[in-house]
Amino acid sequence: MGLSTIILAAGQGTRMRSALPKVLQPLAGRPLLAHVLDCAAALSSDDVCVVYGHGGDTVRSVFTDDGLRWALQAEQLGTGHAVQQAMPDTPECNRVLVLFGDVPLLTAATCERLVDETPESDVAVLTVDMDDPTGYGRIIRQGGSVNCIVEEKDAGPEEKAVREINTGVMVCPAGKLRGWLADLGNDNAQGEYYLTDIVAMAVNDGITVHGVKADSWTEVMGINDKKQLAEAERALQARLVDELMMHGVSFADPARVDIRGSLTCGKDVYIDVNAVFEGDVVLGDGVTVESNNLVRDSSLGAGTVVHSNCHLEGSTTGKNCEIGPFARLRPGAELADDVKIGNFVEVKKSTIADGSKVNHLTYIGDTEIGRHVNVGAGTITCNYDGANKHKTVIGDGAFIGSGVELVAPVKVGVNSTIGAGATITKDVGDEELAIERARQKIVTGWRRPEKKGS
DSSP 89: T
130 scored as a contact of Ca ion (CB under 5 A): no
Closer residue to Ca ion (CB): 221 or 265: 221
Closest CA to 82 of 20, 6, 21: 6
Min CB(322)–ligand UD1 separation in Å = 47
For residue 79, the minimal CB distance to ligand UD1 (Å) is 3
Query: Measured from the CB of residue 196, what is the shortest distance to ligand UD1 in angstroms?
Result: 5
Tell me if 140 sits within 8 A of 146, measured CB to CB: yes
102 lies in the binding site for ligand UD1 (CB under 6 A): yes
Q: Look at residue 188 and give the partner it binds from Ca ion, ligand UD1, none, a contact being a CB closer than 5 to 8 Å depending on partner kind.
A: none
Residue 77 touches which member of ligand UD1, Ca ion, none, C-beta under 5-8 Å by kind: ligand UD1
Q: CB within 8 A of 388, min separation 6: which ones?
A: none
Q: By the 8 A CB rule, do 362 and 375 touch?
A: yes
- Which residue among 3, 10, 235, 275 contacts ligand UD1 (CB under 6 A)? 10
Q: Does 222 engage in binding with ligand UD1 (CB under 6 A)?
A: yes
Residue 334 binding partner per list ligand UD1, Ca ion, none, with a CB distance cut-off of 5 to 8 Å that depends on partner kind: none
- Of 80 and 355, the one with the shorter C-beta distance to ligand UD1 is 80
Nearest distance from C-beta of residue 43 to ligand UD1, angstroms:
18
Residue 168 CB-half CA count within 13 A: 24
- In whole angstroms, give the CA distance from residue 378 to residue 322: 19
Binding of Ca ion by 279 (CB under 5 A) = no
Any contact of residue 151 with ligand UD1 (CB under 6 A)?
yes
Site residues for ligand UD1, 35-54, by CB under 6 A, read 51
CB 86 within 8 A of CB 49: yes
Judged by DSSP in three states, 16 sits in helix
Listed ranges 102-110, 142-150, 246-254, 334-342: which one lies at the site for Ca ion (CB under 5 A) = 102-110
183 membership: H or E segment, kind and range: none
**Is 365 near ligand UD1 (CB under 6 A)?**
no
Distances (CA, A) of 285 to 117, 209, 248, 251, 314: 41, 50, 11, 15, 20
Residue closer to ligand UD1 by CB (options 96, 336) is 96
165 is a site residue for ligand UD1 (CB under 6 A)? yes
Name the catalytic one among 54, 360, 372, 390.
360
By CB under 6 A, residue 31 contacts ligand UD1: no
DSSP codes of every residue in 328-386: EE-TTEEE-TT-EEEEEEEEESEEE-TT-EEEEEEEEESEEE-TT-EE-TT-EEE-B-S
Sole binder of ligand UD1 in the list 31, 137, 318, 355 (CB under 6 A): 137
Within 10 Å of residue 355's Cβ, how many Cβ atoms?
A: 18
Using CB under 6 A as the binding rule, whether residue 77 contacts ligand UD1 is answered as: yes
For 144: left if phi > 0, alpha if psi spans -120 to 50, otherwise beta; the answer is left
Strand partners, 263: 281
User: How many chain residues touch ligand UD1 (CB under 6 A)?
Assistant: 28
Residue whose beta carbon is closest to Ca ion: 222
Specify the residue, 102 or 272, whose C-beta has the smaller distance to ligand UD1.
Answer: 102
Residue 271: strand pairing partners: 251, 289
Q: Contact between 222 and Ca ion (CB under 5 A)?
A: yes
Encode burial over 336-350: b for 16+ CB neighbours within 10 A, e otherwise.
bbbbbbbbbbbbbbb
Give dist(CA 167, CA 155) in Å, integer.
Answer: 17
- Evaluate the omega torsion of the peptide bond into residue 26 and state whether it is cis, within 30 degrees of 0: no
> Per CB under 6 A, does 124 bind ligand UD1?
no
Query: Which is nearest to 146 in space by CA: 130, 132, 162?
Result: 162
For residue 157, how far is the Cα from the chain centroid?
42
In angstroms, give the least distance from the CB of 137 to ligand UD1.
2
The site partner of 10 among ligand UD1, Ca ion, none (C-beta below 5 to 8 Å per kind) is: ligand UD1
Min dist CB 13 to Ca ion, Å, is: 9
Minimum gap (Å) between residue 176 Cβ and Ca ion: 25
Name which of ligand UD1, Ca ion, none residue 261 binds, using a CB cut-off of 5 to 8 Å depending on partner kind.
Answer: none
180 binds ligand UD1 (CB under 6 A): no
Instruction: Indicate the residue among 77 and 111 with the shorter CB distance to ligand UD1.
Output: 77
Phi, psi angles (nearest 5°) of residue 311? -130, 110
The whole-angstrom separation of Cα 412 and Cα 70 is: 58
Cβ closest to ligand UD1, residue 101 vs residue 365: 101
Q: Helices (DSSP H) in 23-173: which residue ranges? A: 32-42, 56-62, 79-86, 108-117, 157-160
The question of whether 360 is a catalytic residue gets the answer yes
| Alpha-carbon gap, residue 141 to 136, rounded angstroms | 16
Nearer Cβ to ligand UD1, position 66 or 75? Answer: 75
Strands (E), 53-102: 68-72, 95-100
- Which residues are part of the catalytic machinery? 360
Q: Name the site residues for Ca ion (rule: CB under 5 A).
A: 102, 222
Question: Residues interacting with ligand UD1, by CB under 6 A?
Answer: 8-11, 51, 73, 76-79, 81-82, 100-102, 136-137, 149, 151, 165-168, 194-196, 222, 224
